[in-house]
Structure 1
Amino acid sequence: MFTTQIHQTNKVALEPLKLKHLEGLYQAGKHPQVWQWVLSNYTQTQVKLEQWFTHSAQFNQNEQVVFAIIDKHSQQVVGTTRLFRLDSNNLSAEIGHTFISFTAQRTYVNTHAKYLLLRYAFNQLNLVRISFNTHEHNQQSRNAIARLGAKYEGIAQKDRRLEDGSYRNTAKFSIIDEQWPAIKLRLEELL
């Protein structure tokens, strides 16, 4: 169902993640604050990053596609994001497992990247629902998701087990196909 095409705006390109992106991803993940709310820091070492690439990023390409986020101005990899949990029966998926380098946070990068993923999901894959999940205390991420136009659905308690054995309560958001045309227009104005 997925294609290997590159999606791009005038400022950001999403390229299906390949080995050639790993060095840039390793550099993008160096700042510890990037990983405060992410389930696992897979850029701690190059070995861990390669294991993540092989076992997570390449896992079941019928259910997910993982993208490197490229800042077109610098031509640098500034993070990664994915469309995953593709449910072809219910025509839904989740956008997430996103990390963006510390220097690219609170810039145009996230808006452009999410716009491209949403456009791909709704316009090419013809999905009817996209969900977003983040740690309930990750206010920066929650604000970014809400700015996209996603609707807050509530908190799922003890939704994800973290590396340290504790549990994360998850703030849940969604965008459905009826909402997409208005959200698309608003995002295009922001781009």
Structure 2
Amino acid sequence: MSAWLQPLTLKGRHVSLEPLSPAHAPALALAAADGELHRLWYTSVPGPHEVEAYVQKALAQQDAGLALPFAVRDAQGDIVGSTRYCNADAANRRVEIGYTWYARRVQRTALNTEAKRLLLAHAFETLGCIAVEFRTHWHNRRSREAIARLGARQDGVLRNHMIMPDGTYRDTVVFSIIASEWPTVRRGLDWRLEQGGRGDA
């Protein structure tokens, strides 16, 4: 486990992010079934039967110091998805926010806006990151639009970056927010939360 990325809980009004554990698997399986996101060929969301392996792999990445995975709990106390810091680079103070997915019933609500607000604040204000990345599939237009709405800027496209489970090649779109942009991005996110926070994927 990385000394830089230590498990913690991040809490807001609409969402709580808590350290992922095997105990979350049954609730995550129910969340994954809501909307059947795993059927979208351009996502990496686990199917309900794949959640236990998904959690174990995330925790192995945490043990290697590469990630810090969270279970996402809504304001009613239900587990509704997962997210994580990943591709952590402590030496260069960079991290990616990724592997984010939610049950359909909480998509495009204030929950995601606040979750990103919490993760970005911790990255820039506690971890001292100089940049935070977001990556998504070229064909996941909804995700690309949601990342841009956060205030991230597109850095470029990594062509044939990954081989997907179905054998297709993924072109990965890379976005980032750098430290000097964070105060403006933070104000934008706070304003959206004041307005109800709706509109995210």
Same-fold status (TM-score > 0.5):
yes
Selected match of 2:25 from 13, 22, 27: 22
Instruction: Normalising by structure 2, report the TM-score.
Output: 0.87
Q: Could you tell me whether the CA contact under 8 Å between 2:22 and 2:56 is conserved in 1?
A: no
Mind listing any 5+ residue stretches in structure 1 that lack a counterpart? none
Pick aligned residue for 2:184 from 177, 182, 185: 182
Task: Determine if the alignment matches structure 1 residue 42 to structure 2 residue 49.
Answer: no
Q: Give 2:141's aligned amino acid.
A: Q
Q: CA deviation at 1:33?
A: 4.4
Within the candidate set 4, 8, 14, 1:5 is matched to 8
| Equivalent residue, structure 2, for 1:172 | 174
Instruction: Please state how far the C-alpha of 1:145 moved relative to its aligned partner.
Output: 0.3
SS in 2 for 1:63: coil
Matches within 5 A, 1:1-191: 1-31=4-34, 33-35=36-38, 36=40, 37-39=42-44, 41-45=45-49, 48-61=50-63, 62-72=65-75, 74-191=76-193
Q: Which amino acid letter does the alignment assign opposite residue 15 of structure 2?
A: V
Structure 2 CA distance, aligned partners of 1:102 and 1:58?
27
> Which stretch shows the higher mean deviation, 51-60 or 85-94?
51-60
1:120: how far off? 1.0
Q: Can you list the C-alpha shifts for 1:114-137, whole angstroms capped at 9, x where unaligned?
A: 111111111110010111111111
Provide the identity percentage: 34
Distance change >3 Å, CA 75–CA 15, structure 1 → 2: same
Within 2, Cα distance between the matches of 1:64 and 1:122?
A: 16
User: Does structure 1 conserve the Cα–Cα contact (< 8 Å) formed by 2:28 and 2:48?
Assistant: no
Tell whether the 8 Å contact from 2:133 to 2:177 is kept in structure 1 after alignment: yes
Distance 2:159 2:68 in 1: 27
Does the residue aligned with 1:179 lie in a helix, a strand or coil? Answer: helix
Preserved contact between residue 87 and residue 93 of structure 1 (Cα < 8 Å): yes
Amino acid at match of 2:112: N
User: Number of matched residues?
Assistant: 187
| More moved, 126-135 vs 25-34 | 25-34
Contact 1:129–1:174, Cα closer than 8 Å, also in 2: yes
Take 2:140 and 2:53, find their aligned partners in 1: how far apart are those partners?
A: 27
Give the TM-score normalised by structure 1: 0.92
Contact 1:25 1:43 in 2 (8 A): no
Q: Distance in 2 between matches of 1:121 and 1:14?
A: 14
**Residue 102 (structure 1) shift:** 1.1
Show structure 1 runs of 4+ deviating over 6 A: none
CA distance in 2 between partners of 1:97 and 1:163 (Å): 16
Say what the alpha-carbon RMSD is for the aligned residues: 1.5
